[in-house]
Structure formats: C-alpha cells, structure tokens
Chains A and B, each alone.
Chain A
Amino acid sequence: MENLNLILPEIFISLSIMFLLVLGVFKKNSSGITFNLSLFVFLISAIIAINETFSVNRETLFNGSVVIDKMSSFMKIITLLGGFLVLVISSSYLKIFKIFNIEYPVLILSSVLGMMVMISSNDLIVFYMGLELQSLALYVLATYNRDQLKSSEAGLKYFVLSALSSGLLLYGCSLIYGFSGSTNFDVISTQLNSNEYVLTFGIVFILVGLAFKISAVPFHMWAPDVYEGSPTTVTLFFTMVPKIAALTVFIRFLYVPFLNLIDQWQMIIVFLSIASMLFGAIAAIGQTNIKRLVAYSSIGHIGYTLAGLATASNEGIQSSIIYISIYVVMNLALFSCLLMLRRNNQYYEDIDDLSGLSKNHPLLSLSLLVILFSLAGIPPLAGFFAKFYVFKAVLEQSMYFLAIVGLLSTVVAAFYYLRIIKIMYFDKEKGKYDTDHSLWLKFSLTFSTILILLYFIFPSQLIEVVSRINII
C-alpha cells in the first residue's frame, strides 16, 4: 500500500473543491462562505504539506510516477501560500466588479491543485494531466470579468496559444516515449542515448511548450495581452503561482530525464535566458500600462531564473528557486500597491495615474519605491540578493557572457523602474485615492515590503532551506 499521507494536501484540496461546488449549488449567496472556506483549505493544506512532506528526502508513489522530495515540498508550500495570498486580497476587487462568485475560489483551488500535481510529477502523463488541469482553470480565470471585452479577449488568446503549446509539448512527449519506451522520468534517464538526433526534436518540443508556460522569449507573445486584459487579481495570480509550478517542471525535466543530454539543451536555455532578459528590459521601456509593464518585467525576471537553470549545477537550481521565491514576494507587494489605486470604485492602471503619489500617499509611494528598487536589483533590497545568487552560480560555471549580458540588462531595466519612481516622486500630484482598503490588503503590502526591505539582515534562512534541494 502506498503511503498516501505524502499526497494528503492534494487529496484534501480535491475533496474540498467538490464540497465547495456542492455547497455553491445548494446554498444561495454562498460566495462569502466559499471564499473563507477556501482560505482555510489553503492554510490547512499548507500545514499538512509542511507536516507530512517537509522532512521527506525523496520518495516515489504509484510506480514512481509521483515524486515527493525537498524541491516538491518547498515549491508546493510556496504555491499554496501564493494561492492563499492572492485569494485573500482579491475579495474587495471582485466585489467592486460584481464578480464575487463561488467560481473564483474554486477555480483558483483547482488550478493550484493542477500545479501541485505538476510539481510532484515524475511521469509524462501525470505531468500533462496536472498541466491541463491548471491551464483549463486559468483560461476561465482570465475571462473572469466576462462583461469586459479585454478580459474575454485575454482568455481567448490565452486559450488558443496555450492549446497550441500544449500540442507541441504533447508531441515532444510522444517522441520521447517513442525513443525510451517509457513515460517515467527515472526510466527515461537510463534509456536515452544522445546519439539519437531525433531525440533532440523531442527535447526541443518539450522545452518550447514549457517556455511558453513561463513566457520566456520568444514564446512570450501572449503575456502582455493576457496580463493587461485579465482582472488585476488574476494577473497577480498569473505572475506568481503558475510560474512556480512551471519552473519546477522545467527543473525536473532538464535534470532528471535529460541530464545526460546537457549538450543538447544547455545552449537553448542560455538563449532563452539572454533573449528574455534583454527583451524584457527593452520592451518594457515604452509601456504606459502598469500591468503590461509588469508583463514585460516578468519576462525579464524569468530570464534571470533561467540563467540559474542553464548552469547545470545544484547551486544554479537553488539560485533559481531563491530567485523565484523572492520574485513572488516582490510581485505580491507590487500588486498590493496596484490594488490600492482605487478612486470612486474604479481602479487605475496607467503609469501616469501614479503621478505625484508621494505627496498624497507617502507611505504607499515609499513602499512602491522600495519594491521598484528591489525589482531593479539595487542593494541592499531583496531583489539584489536574488540576482546575486543567480550570478554567483552562473559565474561558478565561468559563463561570463551570460552574466555580463544579464547584468547589463539590469541597467536597462533600471531605467523603466526609475521612470515609475520619477513619476511618483518628481511629477505633479493628481487626485487622491481612496484609503479604505481591506485589512488583508494592507497586511500583505506591509508584510511583503518589510520582507523585501529587511531581507538583508537574515539572508541565511532562505538559503538554508533551499540548499537542501539537491536534484543532480
């Protein structure tokens, strides 16, 4: 009998989803209670995940198709906490748009469930199942504000392009299966033989599919439109949580079945990384909408994460995981600020709406200042350390070109972050925004800003947790 305790969080979430759906059917006006219950579901499953899996070194379930190791438990916990925080700050936004329904928490829960399956997957079929579960939920979430044209457009675009990439991914999987005779990662890694040239096609197809999911250049085209069109809270979800899952799968794909074929994929990852860093930095300069700008900046940040992956070392993987963890906190802070730009039940998303913010809202603009400098990677803020670890790992492998291009693109990226700061601090003030924000929103902003600001005092803790993750 398998030790089902290890996947207790997943089981718990799936049961809760069913229960919440039934509750929604039989009880009228149950959106409030569904919301609160789903928050509990997130918290409880995070606690279960910590309890049951945190000390597990590496165990496999169901004939080796599901794996629980240090990486999966760490990533699951971040995913769950990310889902919790997104949900907790969404409610006031949804209420204003009158889309505060039971579907929202259920969809978030099911996409998180899909991500958790992805994170634990050690088999092509399990992986694909998780991927589709999270994608389907995300398509609906993107169109969640269905009365708005942009939101529907975003969802449709995301659906069409994502389905295409899933197709490519599936084709890659079938090629790999054809050559190795198995869908299990561990088996594949022993069966593959780098002399098979067609195999490279399989790897490339899979990488393309995954690069699409994390919006790395040149498969990023959907990101700006989808980020701009989706409801802001969904955009926050998009920028944080699916990336964690996709990154985990990325790591597992590259380092479990294909580790022996490193010559075949390392160049591809380096290219994706450099292209994303440069493109993200340059394309963001001309943006006027904050959500679009965040889309480009997230493309750039994914580039740095990939730089860590390209190193083919445990330090590189760890640095990528640290990067994505810090990035998640920074994004949460950034969107909390964005959700505070509300006046008369209307949200403002243009960069120019931030004009002179520092006069009327000194605390809000100070937090935004800290967050933006951190995103730009200026010490002593958390964003600097994230980049620092990545470049430390990259330089260990003597990949100087990658490091120098990466650091130069931080200078370009600094420009557009500075532009926002300039608008906030140097420009003339505009009208005041409402200040009656929900307690959770204030909490998430304060908490994440303080984390970013004071990370430099205790940098060792995060490293210590992450350094237990040894994939190779």
Chain B
Amino acid sequence: MSFPILSSLILLPTIGALFLFFTKDKDGNNSTAKYVALFTSIVNFLISIYLWISFDQSISDFQFVEDRTWIEGFINYKVGVDGISILFIILTTFITPLCIISVNNSVKNRLRDFLIAILIMESFMIGVFCALDLVVFYLFFEAGLIPMFLIIGIWGGPKRVYSAFKFFLYTLLGSVLMLVAIISIYWISGTTDVVKLYEIGIDAKYQNLLWLAFFSSFAVKTPMWPVHTWLPDAHVEAPTAGSVLLAAILLKMAGYGFIRFSLGLFPVASEVFTPLIYTLSVIAIIFTSFIALMQEDMKKLIAYSSVAHMGFVTLGIFTLQQQGIEGSIIQMISHGLVSAALFLCVGVVYDRMHSRMINSYGGIVAIIPKYSILFMLFTLAALGLPGTSGFIGEFLILMGAFKDNFLVAVLASLGVILGAAYMLWLYKRVVFGKLVNEDLKKMLDLNKSEYLILTCLAIPTLFFGFYPDPLINTIEVSVSDLINMHNINLASK
C-alpha cells in the first residue's frame, strides 16, 4: 500500500493542534504558538499541492484511495479524491494559513486555543472533502460544528452566544435527518461505501425521501433561502478568521455534498426535485440581493451576498449540464477566495476603527490607497467582472441554465445585475465620497501581513479569471463522468 497521503493531510493539523496544546499559553503575544500553527498549515498546503500535481486528470476514478476496516463488517474508513474534491481540499489548505496569519490583528485573548480550534477545523474540513463513506462523511461534517461553535462563541462579538447557538442548532437539526437517511441507505443497499453505491444504485422508490433528508442538511449548510438566517448572524458575530473559514470553506461542504451525494446517489429524485431547487435558488439570488442592498453593516452585506452566490451554485449544480456543474464548482472556489478576501477587507478596517457600519466610513481612498485598490479588485470579482474568477463561474452557470430552462436563466441573470449594484454601492459608500468622519484620517494603510494575505488571495482570483484551464482540466473528466453516470442511472430506472 502506498503512502497514505490523504490521511496525513487529515491528521497533520490535528497533530499540530496537539503540539500546540502542550505549548505554554501566554496571554497577548504568543508567537511560538502562531509559528507552530502556521508551519503545520503551510506544510499541509504543500502536501496538497503535491497531491494536485501527482493527480491524474485524465481518469475519473477516485485516486489515492485508502480503504481500512473501521467497524467490523459495517463501515470502512475510506477516503479518496477525484477531480471535484481535490480542488476543495486545496482551497481548504490554502485558506487556513491565511486565516492563521490574519489572527494577529483580530484575536486578542487566548490565541493558542484559537489556533487549536482552527487547526482541528481544518482536519475536519479536509476529511469532509475526501470521505468516500457516508458515515465517515457524516462524522467529519458534524464534528466541524464543535470548533466553529467555540470560535464564534468565545472570540465573537457582543451577540456571540445567540449566534453560536443558532448556528449549532440549525445545522444539527438539518443534519440528524441526514443521519436517518444514511442508516436507511445502509439497510436498503447493504453498504455505505459511496463508490459501491454509485455502482449498484439505490432503489428508486426510496430516493425521494432520502434525497429530502440529505437536502435538509445541505440546504441549511449552503445556506438556501429560507433557512439561511443563521448565516448573517454567525458571520457578523464571528471573528474575522472565523468568518473567513465559514464563508470560504464551510459553506462549500454543502455544495460539494449536493454534487457528490444528491446527484450521484439519487439521480431519479434529483430530476424530480430540480424545480424546487430552481425556485429556491432564484428566490435566494434575487431576494437576498435586495436584502443585501439595504444592509448597513458591511459584514452582513457580504453574508447576504454569499447566500446569493450560493444560490447560483445550487442552480448550476441542478442544471445537470457539463457547463452548469463546472461553473458551480468554479464559482465555489472563486467565492471561497473572494468572500474570504472581502471578510478580511472588512476585518482590516474594523481592526482600526472598530466599526462595521458602512456610514462610519467614506472617502478613505486617499488615506489608505493600497487597501482601496485591493478592495476594489475583490469587489469587482464578487460581482463577476470578466477577468476575475467570479466571472467564469457565473458565466458557465448561466450557460448551463440557458440550456436547461430559459426563464430561470433570465431571472438569475437579473441577480448578476443586482450583485453589481450592491457591491459597487458598498464600495462607493466606503471608499469614495466625502470624508466626514475625522477619525478616519488616522487610519494606517495595510501592514505587511495584511498585504501578504490579500495579495495571496488576489493572485489566484485574477489568474483563474484569465486562465481557468487548470481548474477546468482538473474537474472536467470527473464532472462528465458524473453526468454520464447520472444519465445511465436515470435511463435504467
């Protein structure tokens, strides 16, 4: 058996966290802990890059598969990656070191504990993206609640308790139904191994209920309208690094789950429920865009824009077209980069002025020009300007949607316009305009670490905007295979 590279990806952050646990916790400036955490996460990132390089893009099978007996005769610990999951793993390992660098400015107390929580979170998230057994997937999916609950609850803002509880209970409520579905699948098909389930399929008469049970979990996590209300609360109260993790990676678990499980395991039901997903996605895109327009709080605005963007993602996935699904994946990666950057941008001004209200800013372009330029870049990427990664995703999704359903595509395109409206208006109110608040004059421009983080995020945003081939090549075979399999299953039922 070859070297268990995926398990080491999962385990390494936990080992780092254990190591941190034994370092001494000094209040204030705890640089040892930070370097340990940073080192661990960067090593993890390098391993994942190595994984991407040695990944064979021409076959759609799962690669680097590890299969070990875990519970005798019942569950195997099975992990592996295909073109779809590998991108999410790299996104996770890429965002985590940036989060760790960013804690300098936002987390004041108990830095060590915060880093432990982030590293353990990273382990769980990588686990979600490479699990090939439903129970293993559920385990990682749910376990992520614990560190996130603590991150929001301990280091969050004034209403943190309410937000942390809301986040935890909403997600748990959605997930327990998925657990019922997973166990039922075991009794119906005799296995929870995803690869085997792809082959043997699930009896069509059970699919609708099972699909709904999975949907209840993923819809909360995505989040889809009308169960999105936990997200703005969680984002507003979470510390910057927590918001970044939440927006960039946690929300992607559900999109990934839709592709891997809802489409892959329940082709008949996915067909049946496509109108439902379309309706909810279009409502999410248009309705939350309007809500975003009215927000006074920058973080809330970006949180609502996340809901709208995830609306595009769910729309694209259920077009069941090559372009649509590829677009959704790229949109998720792009949203991971851009929303992370936007939350960091809000974090930058918040650390200086301790306000997230839009109206307390204005006219800062002359005071902090570097910041304004980078913020502009990410604003444009969020609204999907050609040349940024946001454009590729939205464009492909709309292309897929036009093939499938004209009306839905037109309505979703409206969302693009609204997206431009609220993002540009936000930018205008924060950066341009008259300088009213005199305190703003004392603001310092980006310091080295902030500059580094935002540039790190800007490079892939632009690079994939102009040259998305590396992404598309990676996912192409897996996606087309998924669609083929879907059609074959559909035809045979």
- Which A residues form the contact surface with B (CB < 8 A)? 362, 373, 378-380, 384, 388, 391-392, 395-396, 398, 400, 403-404, 407-408, 410-411, 414-415, 418, 421-422, 425-426, 456, 459-460, 463-464
Contact = CB atoms under 8 A, between A and B. Distances in A.
Contact of B145 (A378, A403, A404): A378
B183 A395 contact: yes
A388 B192 CA distance: 14
Interface stretch (B165-173, B317-325, B428-436, B447-455): B165-173
Nearest to B176: A407
B393 interface: no
A411 B169 contact: yes
Contact of B139 (A392, A398, A408, A456): A456
A463 B173 contact: no
B271 interface: no
B139 A379 contact: yes
B3 interface: no
A418 B186 CA distance: 31
Given A362-B113, A407-B179, 4 more contacts: A407-B180, A411-B169, A411-B173, A460-B69
Given A392-B186, A425-B150, A425-B154, A379 B143 contact: yes
Given A378-B142, A463-B71, A403 B180 contact: yes
Contacts of A403: 180, 183
A379 B134 CA distance: 13
A98 B75 CA distance: 52
Contacts of B164: 422, 426
Main secondary structure of the interface of B (DSSP, over half): helix
A3 B179 CA distance: 48
A288 B250 CA distance: 34
A414 B142 contact: no
A415 B143 contact: no
Nearest to B124: A380
B183 A392 contact: yes
B154 A404 contact: no
A395 B180 contact: yes
Contact of A414 (B25, B70, B169): B169
A77 B346 CA distance: 59
Main secondary structure of the interface of A (DSSP, over half): helix
Contact of B179 (A391, A400, A421): A391
B149 A418 contact: yes
B138 interface: yes
Nearest to B109: A359
Nearest to B174: A411
B161 interface: yes
A459 B77 CA distance: 12
A411 B178 CA distance: 13
26 contacts: A378-B145, A379-B142, A388-B135, A388-B183, A391-B180, A395-B180, A395-B184, A404-B180, A408-B176, A410-B176, A411-B172, A414-B168, A414-B172, A415-B165, A418-B168, A422-B161, A422-B165, A425-B153, A425-B154, A426-B160, A426-B164, A460-B69, A460-B70, A460-B71, A463-B72, A464-B72
Contacts of A422: 153, 161, 164-165
B72 A400 contact: no
Contacts of B135: 388
Nearest to B186: A392
Contacts of A426: 153-154, 160-161, 164
| CB-CB nearest 4 A-B residue pairs | A407-B176, A379-B139, A395-B183, A460-B72
A395 B210 CA distance: 13
B180 A400 contact: yes
A404 B176 CA distance: 8
A404 B172 contact: no
Contacts of A391: 179-180, 183
Interface in B129-149: 135, 138-139, 142-143, 145-146, 149
Interface in B103-146: 113, 135, 138-139, 142-143, 145-146
Contacts of A418: 149, 165, 168-169
Contacts of B179: 388, 391, 407
B139 A395 contact: no
Nearest to B156: A426
B177 interface: yes
Contacts of B113: 362
Nearest to A427: B161
A403 B72 CA distance: 23
Contacts of A400: 180
A415 B69 CA distance: 34
Contacts of B177: 404, 407
A174 B160 CA distance: 59
A380 B124 CA distance: 10
A391 B183 CA distance: 8
A380 B143 contact: yes
A373 B146 contact: yes
A460 B72 CA distance: 6
Interface string B53-84: 00000000000000001111000000000000
| Listed residue (A379, A395, A398, A421) with the most chain B CB atoms within 10 angstroms of its CB | A379
Contacts of A459: 70-71
B83 to A, nearest CB: 28
Contacts of B187: 395-396, 398
| Listed residue (B149, B169, B180) with the most chain A CB atoms within 10 angstroms of its CB | B180
Contacts of A460: 69-72
Interface in B410-450: none
Contacts of B160: 426
